[in-house]
Structure 1
Amino acid sequence: MSATTPAHLPGAMPAVVEWQEGSTSRTALWHSENSTPAPRRAVAADDRTKADAAHRLACEGTALLWRGDYHNARRLLEAMGRRIDRKPTKRSSSAASDAPTPAEAFHRHRRARAHRARVLGHLLVLLDGEHRLALRRAPDVQQACTEAYGPPQAPTAISLTELLGVIGAQQWREKGVDVPALGDRIHPHYGVFSPVRGEYVDLVARAPLPAPGDRPLTAFDLGTGTGVLAALLARRGVARTVATDISPRALACARDNIDRLRLSDRVDVTTAPSLFPDARADLVVCNPPWIPARPTSAVEQGVYDPGSTMLHDFLNGLSAHLNPGGEGWLVLSDLAEHLGLRTRGELLAAVESAGLRVRDRLDTSPRHPRTRDTTDPLHRARAAETTSLWRLTPA
């Protein structure tokens, strides 16, 4: 009823989960996309397991390896979630009167989400050596798991919440996301940030392109993700775009989308030794993570970046990678400003420190449902959010 974790040494044994079923000891490999350690204790659970007991065990750090009906596992997960979301029944008068600052509200919200994910992540399912889920009424998850994890190797325990994310990602990959500015669909892969917030794409679609004179227009798309902006630049007439990313999943996703759109003759998807390719271009586009905080999963890296590292790397390296007369497009939400995590003055100071000036700025308001959700703890900041495309040139 324990789990062993791998030593931080080359060739160390992989993490495993151990549990007891009747008089038989069982083991399986452990996998977590957000690098959650293997649970120290695991017990078998099935349709007889009550939500109160499951919630208590999960809060204590005991994982539940599900052996019952698949749909009942999903119902149990929902019931556990309701228990986590219950509001405290009593609050002191001083606590009730202390309205948190936007930054405090953000950090409380993140802690609450992390706690929720941690507790729900203790309900586990077992994939067999072929990525099959041997539960009653379980869907066929082989393709989805192969797309997310690669070829199967051995029986592996994962959290049910992670599996649901894998299934949802595979459905989005098949269906695709309609991008009106592109006049086509983009197919996001698991672990790659999806362009569901289309306002930043619209900004890139309407910003005036640089005029390089007699030579063909060239561009870089830094942190390309799904490749949507690189594809849009090609559709707008950019002769050659180099799209870079550090994530192998993102590179595979961008190549897939560029090939689907028949744009591989104009877009080169590649990794780079640093943020920038070792060259210059007429246009450099970057849509960095907009919140300076630590991501808790791979897909969150498209939103959260501690210290705004990518933002500062883009600003500081831009001048050295622009052709004469070229410009950089910084596509950035100001949500961090409304949350008290970064000020407009700090952003402008970083631009000036990098030897850049603001030639122009295009703004748009987000259209996603959270801007209208008054129950969201961060509603006020989200409702005030603006996404901007900053046109930057060397000073």
Structure 2
Amino acid sequence: MTDQSTLTWPDTEGPRTVRWRSEAGVPAPKRVVIADDTTTADTAYRLACEGTALLWRGDYQNARQLLQAMARRAERKPRKGGAAPKAAASPAEAFHLHRQAQSQRARTLGMVLIPLEGDFGIELRRAPDVRAACEEAWGAPDGEPSVASLREILGLIGAHEWRKKGVPVAALGGAVIHPYYGVFSPVRGEYVDLVARTPLPSEELAFDIGTGTGVLSAVLASRGVKRVIGTDQDARALACAKENVARLGYASQVEVQEADLFPPGRAPLVVCNPPWVPARPASPIEYAVFDPESRMLRGFLDGLKDHLEPGGEGWLILSDFAEHLGLRTREALVGWIVEAGLEVVGREDIRPRHPKATDPGDPLHRARAAEITSLWRLKARAE
């Protein structure tokens, strides 16, 4: 038996217990067996579906191939005569069934485990050097061995490569933003384009609420805003934003502060790009995408009036994806704006350009195809 912070498995010299690592917040598996190059994909998939984890002791690249084979089995359609997948009665149910399937798939594929040395090295044949990727996500090694799922390690490697390569941003003249692990990446550039093209109410001061990578702060600075204050609560986001604005040459214009939404004071422009989907995150790193009960959205709206200078504007960047899924109505959004003592003075719209918007095979294709991202220009309503 194991708890959420340690993993125990049978070894030749008796049970061994080490630290369990999971950025997704997944508890350590309770049942663990040793697996190696002789373990078949069918056996591995059956054990994983039963809740038994496989601690890998073979060739690292073979573990990757095994994981790919398990993924193919997870994606197989039911055999003829088997139980058909439940049909969704509404877009909201389709969304929840999609997330449920994703969660089940993640749990199953997360059962292939890789042992890590105290310096995050992997002592398996043909294993890559993942130490830098692990340190970027987990911090400096403590010298203690640990175990993590292969699927999560591959995610760390992918995030490390994105951080090294960066994401070019057209609104910054093609300059590159380097996202940290767990910080929302500006790969969907349409929301950045909205901030780049909407007329500024002032060039004196702007607040960027939930700055993330700092991309919107950088765009505002590039447009001539003399002082920008970007806020966030996440330690990775704060470090990421500071590095990006410094790398882009805007450190003298942009100040990054730790804050719950708003910094002290008022500004003639307050910008916020909250998570767009009002659903419960399945893991801590999903808070960049999901806003449970629209807490950040409503917090921004409710506090905006008290942080706007007279005549100032609040820019809310929000997709209507949740509306097409039936998770939030346009009437509810407009009602929250009115309740917060605000009024809409303009709106800029843009269509998404990401591949899923034109993929009819996507289970949420209908909602994605209809999606529009908007920049809502808000002002304090005259009493």
Counterpart in 2 of 1:287? 273
Counterpart in 1 of 2:31? 41
Is 1:61 equivalent to 2:60 in the alignment?
no
Is 1:371 equivalent to 2:357 in the alignment?
yes
Q: TM-score, normalised by structure 1?
A: 0.93
Q: Could you tell me how far apart the structure 1 residues matched to 2:306 and 2:86 are? A: 52
Q: Could you tell me how far apart the structure 2 residues matched to 1:98 and 1:20 are? A: 43
* Root mean square deviation, CA, Å: 1.6
Q: Could you tell me how far apart the structure 1 residues matched to 2:132 and 2:233 are? A: 25
User: 1:3·1:42 contact (CA, 8 Å) conserved in 2?
Assistant: no
Work out the number of aligned pairs and report it.
379
Unpaired stretches in structure 1, ≥5 consecutive residues: 6-14
Counterpart in 1 of 2:192? 201
* Deviation at residue 335 of structure 1 after TM alignment: 0.2
SS at match of 1:181: helix
Q: Could you tell me how far apart the structure 2 residues matched to 1:97 and 1:232 are? A: 45
Counterpart in 2 of 1:179? 169
* Deviation at residue 88 of structure 1 after TM alignment: 2.0
Give the letter for the 2:103 counterpart. Answer: A
1:235 to 1:113, Cα distance in 2 relative to 1, 3 A: same
SS at match of 2:44: helix
Counterpart in 2 of 1:352? 338
Is 1:220 equivalent to 2:200 in the alignment?
no
1:174 to 1:99, Cα distance in 2 relative to 1, 3 A: closer
Alignment equivalent of 2:41, drawn from 51, 55, 61: 51
User: 2:88·2:97 contact (CA, 8 Å) conserved in 1?
Assistant: no
User: 2:23·2:285 contact (CA, 8 Å) conserved in 1?
Assistant: no
SS at match of 1:205: helix
Alignment equivalent of 2:78, drawn from 80, 88, 91: 88
**CA offsets 1:239-260 (integer angstroms, 9 cap, x no match):** 1111000100100100110111
Q: Could you tell me how far apart the structure 2 residues matched to 1:167 and 1:17 are? A: 22
Q: Could you tell me how far apart the structure 2 residues matched to 1:299 and 1:287 are? A: 17
Give the letter for the 1:49 counterpart. Answer: T
Q: TM-score, normalised by structure 2?
A: 0.96
Alignment equivalent of 2:138, drawn from 142, 149, 154: 149
Q: Could you tell me how far apart the structure 2 residues matched to 1:291 and 1:349 are? A: 18
More divergent stretch after superposition (223-232 vs 297-306): 297-306
Give the letter for the 2:193 counterpart. Answer: D
* Deviation at residue 301 of structure 1 after TM alignment: 1.2
Give the letter for the 1:262 counterpart. Answer: G
* Deviation at residue 62 of structure 1 after TM alignment: 1.1
- Equivalent residues in 2 for 1:13-162 (5 A)? 15-90=5-80, 100-153=89-142, 154-162=144-152
Q: Could you tell me how far apart the structure 1 residues matched to 2:100 and 2:291 are? A: 17
* Deviation at residue 186 of structure 1 after TM alignment: 0.1
* Deviation at residue 262 of structure 1 after TM alignment: 1.6
1:96 to 1:60, Cα distance in 2 relative to 1, 3 A: closer
* Deviation at residue 296 of structure 1 after TM alignment: 1.9
Q: Could you tell me how far apart the structure 1 residues matched to 2:85 and 2:287 are? A: 34
Give me the identity figure in percent. Answer: 60
Give the letter for the 1:173 counterpart. Answer: R
**CA offsets 1:186-243 (integer angstroms, 9 cap, x no match):** 00011111000000000000000004xxxx6101000000000001000101111110
Is 1:258 equivalent to 2:258 in the alignment?
no
* Deviation at residue 25 of structure 1 after TM alignment: 3.1
* Deviation at residue 294 of structure 1 after TM alignment: 1.0
1:97 to 1:291, Cα distance in 2 relative to 1, 3 A: closer
1:97 to 1:293, Cα distance in 2 relative to 1, 3 A: closer
**CA offsets 1:20-67 (integer angstroms, 9 cap, x no match):** 234543322101112111111111111111111111111111111111
